Amino acid sequence: MPIDLRSDTITQPSDGMRRAIAEAEVGDDVYGEDPTVNRLQDVAADLLGKEAALFVPSGTMANQICLYVLTDPGDEVVLERSSHVFNYETGAAGLLSGVQLHPVDGKNGLLTPDAVEAAIRPDMPVFPPTRVVSIENTANKAGGRVYPMDRIRAVEDVVREHDLRFHLDGARLWNASAATGVDEATYAEPFDIVWAALSKGLGCPVGSVIAGSQDLIEAATVARKRFGGGMRQAGILAAAGLYALEHHRPHLADDHEKARVFAEGMEACAAFSVDLDAVETNIVLFDVNDGTAQPVVDRIADEGVLLTPFGPKTIRATFHRDVSMDAVSKAVETIQALYAPTAA
């Protein structure tokens, strides 16, 4: 069995999760009659500190629903250049919501209030109306960086001053909270609408939860159906989410510890550069000093450790509940045997 560090989406449902799935009480969720989905939505709304929540099949659909309910066609959405919405969603925001994305450069993948302010269009009939500012916490492509709360507040000030709407891609919001101790509801409070993934570090096979005001969640429910995401006996899936929130979420900090151990192991290799201060959650980015990432990833894969090339010279390793600390040590040893460590 290879040690698979490509993504935190590759996890298998745990035994307890499989039991919860098997025993789930279900109904037709398009009728609003699935008790397990309804329970998950109540729990999620509570954890995220919002009036209501909605269970959706994927994070991509969550982002697209959020943008759809916050915008009109022709509007513009300001986001960080490395964001998932801009890079990894097949141009869906243009297709499904008819909006234009306006990427700006942040710092370490995080938006700054100045960059947001500078991107907001003047109110003149030649410009697309700026409507939404979207941020990602943690910031995936930046290596799982956490937004400090005061940065979120500073961006929020700009958002409110210009009467914009504020969207949070919280695919890994649980990781941000596990890393800092700031609870999810506190992180979510400045935003009109937020979502968090159940299928990444939490280890569910499927699903994300969107949370916001009652009105926005009603609009999101219509959008979910319109996008083909209305599900029937979805309690089968929601049961996994409830199980993960209770039993897997408390262990996310372990994944951060694994990431740190791995990053220190890579730093000891002369062939690589890693910014240890940038390792805040479950993602490690490191750079290949000579040559490109792909052949290095291929060579390490031949020895049974799977990584993701994440840029011309950058490699990503992601830590999750299906990789043990022993496996992390083994991965480090394997890579160090190939790329000789510098003298300690």
Ligand X SMILES: *Cc1c(COP(=O)(O)O)cnc(C)c1O
Residues near ligand X (CB under 6 A) are 58-60, 63, 84, 136, 140, 169, 171, 197, 199, 208
Q: Which lies closer to ligand X via its Cβ, residue 193 or residue 268?
A: 193
Residue nearest to ligand X (CB): 59
The DSSP annotation for 234-245 comes to THHHHHHHHHII
The DSSP annotation for 37-73 comes to HHHHHHHHHHHHTSSEEEEES-HHHHHHHHHHHH--T
Q: Which lies closer to ligand X via its Cβ, residue 59 or residue 309?
A: 59
Q: Which lies closer to ligand X via its Cβ, residue 87 or residue 292?
A: 87
CB of 326 to ligand X, least distance (A): 27
Q: Report the C-alpha gap between 307 and 312 in whole angstroms.
A: 14
Q: Report the C-alpha gap between 229 and 61 in whole angstroms.
A: 8
CB of 139 to ligand X, least distance (A): 7
For the chain, the distance separating the N- and C-terminal CA atoms, rounded to the nearest angstrom, is: 31
53: which strand partners? 211
Burial class (CB in 10 A: 0-12, 13-18, 19+), 320: buried
With CA atoms as reference, report the closest residue to 209 among 242, 176, 233: 242
With CA atoms as reference, report the closest residue to 272 among 256, 303, 257, 293: 293
Q: Which lies closer to ligand X via its Cβ, residue 208 or residue 221?
A: 208
CB of 285 to ligand X, least distance (A): 14
CB of 200 to ligand X, least distance (A): 6
Q: Which lies closer to ligand X via its Cβ, residue 111 or residue 171?
A: 171
CB of 332 to ligand X, least distance (A): 24
CB of 304 to ligand X, least distance (A): 25
Burial class (CB in 10 A: 0-12, 13-18, 19+), 254: middle
CB of 170 to ligand X, least distance (A): 8
Q: Residue 191, Cβ neighbours under 10 Å: how many?
A: 26
Q: Report the C-alpha gap between 60 and 169 in whole angstroms.
A: 10
CB of 198 to ligand X, least distance (A): 9
Output the CA angle 253-254-259, nearest 5 degrees: 95
Q: Residue 86, Cβ neighbours under 10 Å: how many?
A: 19
CB of 125 to ligand X, least distance (A): 34
Q: Report the C-alpha gap between 307 and 7 in whole angstroms.
A: 8
Q: Which lies closer to ligand X via its Cβ, residue 36 or residue 199?
A: 199
Give CA torsion, residues 36, 174, 325, 296, to 10 deg. Answer: 110
Greatest alpha-carbon span in the chain: 65
Q: Which lies closer to ligand X via its Cβ, residue 34 or residue 169?
A: 169
Q: Which lies closer to ligand X via its Cβ, residue 7 or residue 273?
A: 7
Q: Which lies closer to ligand X via its Cβ, residue 47 or residue 168?
A: 168
